[in-house]
A = this chain, B = another copy of it.
């Protein structure tokens, strides 16, 4: 079974290498896809939209960012009129974040170009492969996620 073991290791190396390459390219790619939106904030906005209403802390946990980073990004998004903060009546410390109408719209138009890029890039893939790939990514992201799996982050699993 030494061969099988060896193959595992090789696969792991490839995965590691390719994921790294992807991560490093991601910024450039994102910049190309939506030069308008403050670039990082887009991701946060997307997540806020995805889970209709969430707290800054949730964002920080999900993306493994510091509270301060999120705080500033959210402030930027608010300044741009893309998100609103609604104080939680039950707990006055909490601000629930929602996309504004213009936020939703900005997101939609960006999403369109993003989708187009992905569709072009993955156009030749079969539906099965896409589903399988999506599944792998979900599985990958849902495990480990990092150190703070215990923080109750785990927002990845839809």
A residues neighboring B (CB under 8 Å): 4, 7-29, 32, 43, 46, 50, 62-65, 114-115, 117-122, 124-125, 127, 129-134, 136-141, 143-147, 156, 158
Contact = CB atoms under 8 A, between A and B. Distances in A.
A124 B12 CA distance: 12
A145 B20 CA distance: 13
Given A117-B144, A131-B7, A144-B117, A63 B21 contact: yes
A85 to B, nearest CB: 22
A127 B28 contact: no
Query: Which of A7, A10, A20, A27 has the most chain B CB atoms closer than 10 A to its own CB?
Result: A20
Number of copies: 2
B144 A120 contact: yes
Given A17-B50, A64-B28, A64-B29, A118 B22 contact: no
A27 to B, nearest CB: 8
Contacts of A145: 25
Nearest to A24: B63
A133 to B, nearest CB: 5
